[in-house]
Copies of this chain bind each other. A is one copy, B any other.
């Protein structure tokens, strides 16, 4: 909730603060004095904190818990497994008011519960324009036609005989964070950034299929059409089609999930998710873009002068702190490992900086695990919390040198009428109770 005193501070700072319901605008300077600091060393763990907490443990080994005194189910009780019943809260969720109907809506990945960089297939966000078609793979065909010498109609068996590649790549809806362009604040990481996932995708390079079909010299664009009820369709420039686009049939080791385009989809690594057309049935080579329904009525960026940016495919560098976050507050003082995710549609993440005071002071985070191009990259930073307030931010830099912009920079360049491509530095406010809320500071 807004603190009246903070308006005055914002004015003193000379910032024109756009406000929406519930928008908080804390003074970043106060956090310099607050009881939160980057950990003085990168020593792992904090013995004092841990042992203090242990004193209250009331269920200590060497007691023998009930589950050790019996035997459980044996093998293939569940031939295709499922998560523990204790994890039933880790699911995709939607925002009912976001769209008119569930068949043309979005569900969100619970980023707050994820570890590492792989998103389990069952938790990958959903975005449909006409619901999930029940495609029979035996009857499905992929047609490649238009400005080609040898039109092709491939069955799944035929498609899967071509040499394949496997790539770990993120996929993100360009509307991710879009509710916040004008100041709306979603009070959950799942809803601020959850149109985002990262999987290992396997399929045939589109370049291989286009070589097979023989693209004519005048072929400059590829139309991709889905077999769903909306016949979702996008225009892809030939440069991308011949670069790293794949015709993907598998995800995280198994065939695509129905909601991810089973049995086959396009995957345009690093580009806005809607271009990775699902339930792919048709690829047409042409000499110019088609300006189809979804790429004119949607997926353009309205600028302040009334013009629209079109074919803004790339998901620029972005990042968000995933712990702490609204769903994962701090419950006691002590040493923690701050964590987050960074990604760029242009390649690898080079570095991520973290601020605890709303962007005044920055410290480089550690990039954890694999740092792959166009993939989620996890970062972390140890910090000590003694109960003070903080404004947590992360700022990604990718291998092209692109620096994730502030909200002010993004709005200066793009106005506030956009829906898509909001990749501004995100701020979490940590208060004295350990609660985390979503705030916008400029």
Q: Does any Cβ of B come within 8 Å of A336's Cβ? A: yes
Q: Does any Cβ of B come within 8 Å of A131's Cβ? A: yes
Contacting pair A76 B92 (CB below 8 A): yes
Interface residues of A in 8-28 (CB under 8 A from B): none
Residues of B within 8 A of A282 (CB): 61-62
Contacting pair A163 B69 (CB below 8 A): no
Nearest residue, chain B, Cβ from A68:
B227
Nearest residue, chain B, Cβ from A157:
B331
Q: Does any Cβ of B come within 8 Å of A82's Cβ? A: yes
Contacting pair B67 A141 (CB below 8 A): no
Q: Knowing A73-B131, A122-B80, A122-B81, say if A163 contacts B54 (CB, 8 Å).
A: no
Residues of B within 8 A of A247 (CB): none
Contacting pair B164 A86 (CB below 8 A): no
Q: Knowing A62-B143, A253-B117, say if A44 contacts B132 (CB, 8 Å).
A: no
Contacting pair B163 A59 (CB below 8 A): no
Q: Knowing A68-B229, A83-B80, say if A120 contacts B121 (CB, 8 Å).
A: yes
Residues of B within 8 A of A164 (CB): 115, 337, 368, 380
A251-272 Cβ-contact flags toward B at 8 Å (1 or 0): 0111111110011000000000
Segment among A101-109, A179-187, A392-400, A431-439 that sits at the interface with chain B: A101-109
Q: Does any Cβ of B come within 8 Å of A41's Cβ? A: no
A58-77 Cβ-contact flags toward B at 8 Å (1 or 0): 01111001011111111111
Closest chain-B Cβ to A280's Cβ sits at a distance in Å of 11
Instruction: Report how far A161 CA is from B383 CA in the complex, Å.
Output: 11
Instruction: Report how far A230 CA is from B74 CA in the complex, Å.
Output: 12
Interface residues of A in 205-228 (CB under 8 A from B): 205, 208-209, 211-212, 227-228
Closest chain-B Cβ to A97's Cβ sits at a distance in Å of 13
Q: Does any Cβ of B come within 8 Å of A329's Cβ? A: no
Residues of B within 8 A of A49 (CB): 161
Contacting pair A255 B162 (CB below 8 A): no
Q: Does any Cβ of B come within 8 Å of A305's Cβ? A: no
Interface residues of A in 347-377 (CB under 8 A from B): 368-370
A237-254 Cβ-contact flags toward B at 8 Å (1 or 0): 000000000000110111
The residue from B59, B94, B152 contacting A139, defined by CB atoms under 8 A apart: B59
Listed by A's residue number, 14 A-B pairs whose Cβ atoms lie within 8 Å are A44-B205, A47-B212, A50-B152, A67-B229, A67-B279, A71-B131, A84-B137, A116-B166, A116-B200, A119-B253, A120-B252, A162-B337, A163-B380, A165-B369
**Which residues of A come within 8 Å of B, CB atoms?**
44-45, 47, 49-51, 53-54, 57, 59-62, 65, 67-87, 90-94, 101-107, 113-124, 126-128, 130-137, 139-141, 143, 150, 152-155, 157-158, 161-168, 200-202, 205, 208-209, 211-212, 227-231, 249-250, 252-259, 262-263, 279, 281-282, 331, 334-337, 368-370, 378, 380, 382
13 additional A-B pairs beyond A45-B212, A75-B94, A84-B258, beta carbons within 8 Å, are A59-B139, A60-B153, A61-B143, A62-B143, A65-B281, A75-B102, A75-B126, A81-B259, A82-B257, A83-B258, A119-B253, A120-B120, A120-B121
